[in-house]
A and B are shown apart, each in its own frame.
Chain A
Amino acid sequence: MRRNVNIWARVDWFTIIIYLIMVLMGWLNIYAAVYSEEHRSIFDWNMRYGKQLLWIGAALIIALVTLSIDTRAYSFFAYVIYALSLISLLLVLVFGKEVNGARAWFEIGQLRLQPTEFAKVATCLALAKYLSSYNVRPDKIKTWVIAGIIMFVPAALIVLQPDVGSVVVFAAFTLAFYREGFPGIILLFGFLLIFLSLIALIASPLTVLIIILLLAFAALFILRLRIAEVIIGIVGLIIGYFLTKLIATHILHLPNNSYLFLLISTITLGIITLINLAFKKIPYLFWIVLFTFLAIGFTYSVDYLFDNFLQTHQQQRINILLGKESDPKGAEYNVAQSKIAIGSGGLFGKGFLQGTQTKFNFVPEQSTDFIFCTVGEEWGFVGSLIVLGLFVILLLRILHLSELQRSAFSRIYGYGVAAILFMHMAINIGMTIGLLPVIGIPLPFFSYGGSSLWAFTLLLFIFLRLDASRLEVLR
């Protein structure tokens, strides 16, 4: 009883107020996005703003319940919740309802639930639980592998729906790993992953290979500071290239293929270097060769995945962002209309319910994935500034609170929460302003939809519950 009384005194009201402001702003913008003269009542359950009002009510109940549960339950049941989540992801593949080509929804009467959203909470809990276990050390490969598997399994099930967009969010957990002492290289690795996947999609295989080699030699030079090694390497590559070419075209009579020749030359040089390393230890060189091989394999698989696993509409969206395709009435239409809506907002916006692009439905998916357009058009730059400001304050507050935690579980969980919210915000707003490809994931607390609102509420309030008890719990 004592704990239940105290929870309201110890809970972080600052975060709750920001949460409430965001939910309220989100609702106002949903109202504007689907507003029409015929349906003015905010309690019209046939309209999305009416429904969202119900979802918000439910979310507040979820928040209350979440805060009422014993704080130890979350870490105690973390794996159970994770397991249940995986089962729900499996079940949805069988019994789910297909919407927009993805089997991602359970339909129970009027209600639709998206297990993907809750899987993020479950995965966050499971990772926090695992990484905070007393014998887990961040410098061991085994830790990396197990953490990777915890991340990978739900992501893989989600790919099967297929919903590639949501999978990207799982990469957010690397931020939490980094905080827990995984080598700094993991961030660099993350950026390199993104950089190389983009390069692999835009450029020809030969160019990609050359870029990878340049990166490798740059790394070699920066780490070793010996120009001679770089020159030997480059000369070796060039000799290898022409030797391969000579053999291939003149002896084997194969057609000319620069990519293949350079690839063979690179692999040969890599193997020679590795053999050499067995006799003479040269620091970093092993890692550079490994990086080169992995990078080549990765970029190749990105190309392969892009061609074989991404759905056509996703391929199109990415291609348009990369400037490889132009199709104003098709996939680019969303982004173009979204940019027009936001760009026409000006400094102070057109005013509540005055946005012509918003009111007249020029932007598809406006109340869900493109809700930020309404903010941009009707509230202008000032509105954008406030929304982004609220997000940054919320994220920094969560990080700050996480650092105050005595329990590693709470801290890791807190970083996970911040990372997921950040990833959603960055991808969602980035796509509406045309900086990122169109990946259909919601803007936390703003976008229309019960599942995402409830999942984000759950995510945040579990952390607030943990935080409220930070003085009581040691582990």
Chain B
Amino acid sequence: MNNQYANRYYIISGIFVLVVFVYLIRLFFMQIIDTSYKFSAENNSQRYVTLYPARGLIYDRHGKLIVSNQAAYDLMVNPQELRPFDTSTFCSILGITPDYVRLTIRKARNYSRYKSSPFLYQIPDSVYAAFQEQLYKFPGFYVQPRTLRHYERKIAAHFLGYVGEVDSSHIKNDPYYQMGDYIGMSGLEKAYEKELRGVKGVKIYLVDVHNRIKGSLANGRFDKPAIQGKNITSTIDADLQAYGEKLIKNFRGGIVAIEPSTGEILVLTSNPSYDPQMLIGRGRASNFVKLRDDPSNPLFNRALQSKNPPGSTFKLLNALVGLQTGAISPQSTFGCAMGYTAGPVHVGCHLHPTPLDLIGSIQYSCNAYYCNVFRRIIDNPKENDRFSAYQHWRELVMSFGLGKKIQTDLPHELGGNIPSLDYYNRIYRKSWNSITIISLSIGQGEIGITPLQLANMAATIANRGYYYIPHSVKLINGYDSIDNRFKQKQFTAFDSSYFEIIVEGMYRAVNGPGGGTALNGSVKGLDICGKTGTAQNPHGDDHSIFIAFAPRNNPKIAIAVYIENGGFGATIAVPIASLMIEKYLTDTITRPWYEEYLRTKTIIYPKN
């Protein structure tokens, strides 16, 4: 009976062997052929912890530290390791409410029971010290060090810019960034983000299924330390910047000062401004909203972004174009009968000696003179027609870096506007002539120029015909490694010989003899040359404008001051510029009454 079925022994043995064989084939593929499981295993068990580098420091042109770093501590919570704790002590140390604790822990739990979530961002140093002693009482909480910006002085908010957390578009554009990283959002911080940010490091930990750290991978052999960001020596003069911010405090507008021989930006202020310290640390988000919603718009960088008509300062350019195109000569004189009338158009002027030659026209800022100059330029018989004459005028004007971005290194710069031929042809259906656009002669109308461009104009005249692109950085990590474009002279389309005449006019405008529009700006021995501007605008009183440089020969500083609704150029812009130049060149203030005047002077700004 046994033997009858004994052969079934082989069948059953066969089944056993077959199943084991199939399993071995499967295991062979899983363990040897297919490598994807190994990656999955690493993903499971290795946790990459980012080591954040400190951002590079920022110095002023004289090596004074303006931006440094401070340690900050993010308090993290791991819901799984939480144990009941003394909430009232906890809250009183950290200065938070029990409701915040409850809500944040619930949020962290919802995100993950095992992974840590941020509980409280950027605890200040002092609080951290107190908390650290008690930390053992609060299992589940731990502290992750970060560095935050620290501002040595409350200056240059717009110039320096601010640092913020990256958003998804940053991450998409540059895979270097990950959620929670910081990035320069504006100003120098944005322009030199790559230099300042440093290189993130990484520490690889082994973690268990509950994400608890169990040790480091291969004793840290694959870890990478963080590399600190490069230090930057900026071009600004911190003391002068602070002084400028003090002077402009009561007004809306901007001051930009440039060293003509290098194009280095010495001062860049925009008022209303804010304390840069507001945009770091725990208050950042709420402060940002506050600043954004402030009707005076303190986040708006007027120095780079407000484009306004340049007013009479633009006469300097029309004079140069007149000379360059042969429309006038230095000796051309025109009379002025309290203004200029041609057909339906009347352009008013103020009381001054008449007739005037070119130098005198700058000294006294005669409107009628420039109406004549401009008509001669446009109706120049050497040109084919008024269209080509206008085109020629525009090209010459734009060679001053106007009507287009100047290509400075600071971000968010606007190019302003010099109206194109097409624009006038379109709005006037080609039926326009020199009278139609006569307001261009005195820097009114559609022209839009930023304070930076105005300062660059002053620097170009100071250099007698060329400029260096204004920039904000001298040295990176102690080396002169700034972009090459900042080291090349940008020549205008004018003969340098014409500039001496313009400079003479500017010198007389400030220093006389006889009279001048900016006599209140004169400082003995400094040879300040300048030109006032008073720009009419639809938003209330005229804007007060002044561009200047000093000394006359071998100029050290070129400056533009733009005060919204400040009235005549001489009213506010001239005193500010004059004080700034004096302070920069002599480091003394001989006219404290001007400071007092600016401190007490107020302008009622329309609520927008």
Contact = CB atoms under 8 A, between A and B. Distances in A.
Given A180-B5, A339-B30, A342-B31, A362 B13 contact: no
A433 B16 contact: no
23 contacts: A180-B5, A181-B4, A342-B27, A343-B34, A343-B37, A343-B38, A344-B37, A346-B38, A356-B46, A360-B44, A360-B45, A360-B208, A362-B209, A377-B41, A384-B27, A388-B24, A391-B20, A392-B20, A396-B13, A403-B6, A426-B19, A433-B26, A433-B30
Contacts of B16: 392, 395-396, 399, 418, 422
A357 B44 contact: yes
Given A361-B208, A362-B208, 4 more contacts: A179-B5, A359-B208, A376-B30, A429-B23
Nearest to A430: B23
A435 B20 CA distance: 12
Interface string B25-62: 01110111010111011001110000000000000000
A361 B20 contact: no
Contact of A381 (B32, B46, B214): B32
Nearest to B5: A181
Contacts of B22: 435
Given A356-B44, A392-B20, A381 B28 contact: yes
Interface residues of A, number: 45
Interface string B386-399: 00000000000000
A376 B27 contact: yes
Interface in A329-357: 337, 339-347, 356-357
Contacts of A408: 2
Contacts of A429: 23
Contacts of A357: 41, 44-45
A234 interface: no
A429 B2 CA distance: 33
B208 A433 contact: no
Which 6 A-B pairs give the minimum distances between C-beta atoms?
A343-B37, A360-B208, A344-B41, A356-B45, A381-B31, A343-B30
A345 B19 contact: no
Interface of A: 175, 178-181, 187, 337, 339-347, 356-357, 359-362, 376-377, 380-381, 384-385, 388, 391-392, 395-396, 399, 403, 408, 411, 415, 418, 422, 426, 429-430, 433, 435
Interface in B207-242: 207-210, 214
Nearest to B24: A388
Nearest to A363: B209
A392 B38 CA distance: 28
A30 B524 CA distance: 94
A220 B147 CA distance: 82
- B5, B27, B34: most-surrounded residue (chain A CB, <10 A): B27
A147 to B, nearest CB: 15
- Interface centre among A187, A345, A360, A408, by most chain B C-beta atoms within 10 angstroms, is A360
Interface of B: 1-2, 4-6, 8-9, 11-13, 15-17, 19-20, 22-24, 26-28, 30-32, 34, 36-38, 40-41, 44-46, 206-210, 214
A356 B38 contact: no
Contacts of A385: 24, 27
A309 to B, nearest CB: 27
B366 to A, nearest CB: 82
Contacts of B8: 178-179
A391 B32 CA distance: 22
Nearest to B38: A344
A356 B214 CA distance: 10
A345 B37 CA distance: 9
A82 to B, nearest CB: 24
Given A344-B41, A415-B12, A356 B27 contact: no
Contacts of B6: 403
Contacts of A187: 11
A239 B456 CA distance: 98
Nearest to B1: A181
Contact of A399 (B13, B40, B206): B13
A161 to B, nearest CB: 28
A175 B14 CA distance: 12
Nearest to A421: B16
Contacts of A411: 2
A21 B476 CA distance: 69
B15 to A, nearest CB: 8
A385 B26 CA distance: 11
B17 A360 contact: no
A392 B17 contact: yes
B13 A433 contact: no
Contacts of A341: 41
Contact of A340 (B4, B17, B20, B37): B37
Contacts of B209: 360-362
A418 B12 CA distance: 10
A396 B208 CA distance: 40
Contact of A433 (B4, B27, B36): B27
Given A179-B5, A360-B209, A396-B13, A433 B34 contact: no
B31 A345 contact: yes
A80 to B, nearest CB: 27
Contacts of B17: 392, 396
Contacts of A346: 31-32, 38
Contacts of B45: 356-357, 360, 362
A343 B36 contact: yes
A433 B23 CA distance: 8
B279 to A, nearest CB: 40
Nearest to B31: A381
Nearest to B36: A343
Contacts of A384: 24, 27, 31
B12 A179 contact: yes
Contacts of A179: 5, 8-9, 12
B198 to A, nearest CB: 31
Contacts of A361: 208-210
Contacts of A388: 20, 23-24, 27
Contact of B12 (A178, A343, A362, A430): A178
Give the residue among A340, A341, A342, A408 with the most B Cβ atoms within 10 A. A340
B4 A342 contact: no
Contacts of B208: 359-362
Given A178-B8, A376-B31, A384-B31, A360 B38 contact: no
A347 to B, nearest CB: 6
A395 B15 CA distance: 11
B565 to A, nearest CB: 63
A181 B27 CA distance: 35
A384 B31 CA distance: 10
Which of B2, B30, B38 has the largest count of A CB atoms less than 10 A from its CB?
Answer: B30
B37 A356 contact: no
Nearest to B45: A356
A391 B5 CA distance: 25
A362 B209 CA distance: 5
A201 to B, nearest CB: 21
Contacts of B4: 181
A388 B21 CA distance: 9
Contacts of A337: 44
A431 to B, nearest CB: 11
A356 B26 contact: no
A391 B24 CA distance: 12
A339 to B, nearest CB: 6
A116 to B, nearest CB: 23
Nearest to A361: B209
A401 B23 CA distance: 25
A119 B218 CA distance: 49
A191 to B, nearest CB: 10
